[in-house]
Amino acid sequence: MLQVLKGRNGASGPAGLGARLSFWRARTGNGLALMVHSLSGRLLLLTLVYVLVTEVLILVPSLGRYHRSLLEARIESAEIAILPFTEVGENQLSEALRRQLLVRAGAGAVMLKRPDQAELFLRDQMPSHIDVTIDLRDRSLFGEMFQALDCIALGGMRTLHIIAPTRITGARTIEVIVGETTTRNALISYAGSLVVLALAISLATALLVFASLYLVFVRPMGRLTRAMISYQENPDDPERIVAPTGRKDEIGVAERELATMQRTIYESLRSRARLAALGTAVAKIQHDLRNMLSSAQLASDRLSTIEDPVVQKLAPRLVSSLGHAVALATNTLRYGRAEENPPQRRLVGVRAIAEEIRESVMASPERAIAMTIDVDPTLEADADPEQLYRILLNLVRNAVDALSQAASGEIAVSGRREESVVVIEIADNGPGIPERVRKTLFQPFGSSARPGGAGLGLAIARDLARAHGGDVVLQLTGAAGTTFRITIPGRG
């Protein structure tokens, strides 16, 4: 009666066995994948491969030398077998003894070559054919290795013709015809022993090397990797910052640098969070402040119509101060937006925008500043008109502010096309930009070289130009004046 076997999951024989095989195949596949893709697994595999390659480089020459020693042993046995027949009185020895000695030596025939003659010693009769001839007078290492591998791979029932120098007095060489079976069996047995020994040494060496490299290199790197992953999940948690172990090697340097970087990022994130909260509060304050300043500006405009001399003297200063305050509040709010609207690009005349800015900025009669425009009326830039206006306006206003203390000032706006890029340069003959300001020239709130300036104009201008794929750069500055260069590339 056939008894149906049950698996551990309750499935009957074939189905249960198939499920177990699938389970083990899945586990084995996952293990192999982990070994191939993990650093420690690759290290173990590479160590095994390298050690096995080293063992092979030792094994093959050893087989060649052992094969030669086996052949030399056959020669020595043949020399001993024929030695009694080379002495005086050899005829007193029987033919049966000669045959028995050759049988014990495993030789079918032996030829001893002297300078004047050759002696042939046969066991029964001369072999009908010879499969392989080996000359032991050739001591080439590669030849020995090839003969050994050939014996293992193709040998067995072949007949060998071995030629070797001899130590028998008066003879030069000895040639022996023997079967290969005994030699091949001994060589295969020796090769098997070497393979087992090589595998044992390879495994032991690989485990030792792997353990050493794992403890010294892989495990610390794994710790660093886990620390980076953990920190990435929640960089606001200071407990996730890696703690250096105090090692003096490269791993220790990496630990300390990683800890420093994580602390820097943590502090930067905290600072950004505080600045974000502060920026939100400032934006709200600036919004209300701008509304109040706008109302005050309207009132100051009405004050300027009063005929009182004192009012007429103070009103321009009040209007100017309120104008700067409104501009500061507006620029701060505009720069503090989460994102600037993307440019709505179209072809726009550069000269028309420059002339509009000249009429707006140079309208005050108190300014002793001349603004010249050297732009071809046909020059058009592929840009957002409103944003290009803001770029030029910020740079021209900066130039006007730089010339505020000059008795007479000049601002020159020039434009040209260089291939597909429109280049606009704004130059003034002011005193130049101080060295201390140049390092933070395009940073928000850090580039103002005049009292009361916000330091936002250049930052806003550069951001808008880069949104077009261009840039705003300081071309030159010094006692003779300052020149800014604007580039607006076309859209292919």
What CATH number did the domain enclosing 465 receive? 3.30.565.10
| pLDDT at position 169 | 80
- Residue 426 · residue 461 · CB < 8 Å: no
23 and 81 share a domain?
no
249 and 155 share a domain?
no
The enclosing H or E element of 176 equals strand 173-179
pTM (two decimals): 0.42
Q: What's the number of domains the chain is made of? A: 4
Residues pairing with 427 in the sheet: 412, 483
302 and 356 share a domain?
no
108 and 169 share a domain?
yes
390 and 259 share a domain?
no
> Which pLDDT tens digit goes with each residue over 473-491?
999 998 889 999 999 998 7
| pLDDT at position 414 | 95
322 and 371 share a domain?
no
> Which pLDDT tens digit goes with each residue over 453-466?
456 778 888 989 99
- Confidence band for 206, pLDDT divided at 50, 70 and 90: confident
More confident residue, 37 or 218: 218
- Confidence band for 119, pLDDT divided at 50, 70 and 90: confident
CB-based contacts of 123: which residues, under 8 Å, 6+ apart?
99, 102, 103, 107, 108, 109
- Confidence band for 314, pLDDT divided at 50, 70 and 90: low
- Confidence band for 138, pLDDT divided at 50, 70 and 90: confident
Please tell me the distance from the alpha carbon of residue 40 to that of residue 149, in angstroms, as a whole number.
36
Lowest mean pLDDT among 73-82, 257-266, 471-480: 73-82
389 and 261 share a domain?
no
More confident residue, 28 or 469: 469
Residue type, 14: P
472 and 457 share a domain?
yes
Lowest mean pLDDT among 178-182, 187-191, 314-318: 314-318
Q: Is 432 left (phi over 0), alpha (psi -120 to 50) or beta?
A: left
Give the range of the structural domain holding residue 25, as residue numbers without chain letter: 1-34
- Confidence band for 342, pLDDT divided at 50, 70 and 90: confident
Residues pairing with 173 in the sheet: 113, 165
- Confidence band for 302, pLDDT divided at 50, 70 and 90: low
More confident residue, 110 or 296: 110
67 and 172 share a domain?
yes
Query: Does residue 210 lie within any of the structural domains?
Result: no
- Confidence band for 363, pLDDT divided at 50, 70 and 90: low
| pLDDT at position 352 | 93
> Which pLDDT tens digit goes with each residue over 397-426?
888 888 877 767 899 999 999 999 999 999
Please, what is the average pLDDT of the chain?
Answer: 77
| pLDDT at position 38 | 64
Distances (CA, A) of 24 to 12, 13, 15, 453, 464: 18, 16, 14, 74, 62
CB-based contacts of 407: which residues, under 8 Å, 6+ apart?
368
Lowest mean pLDDT among 7-11, 67-71, 104-108, 206-210: 7-11
313 and 286 share a domain?
yes
368 and 456 share a domain?
yes
Check pLDDT > 60 for residue 472. Answer: yes
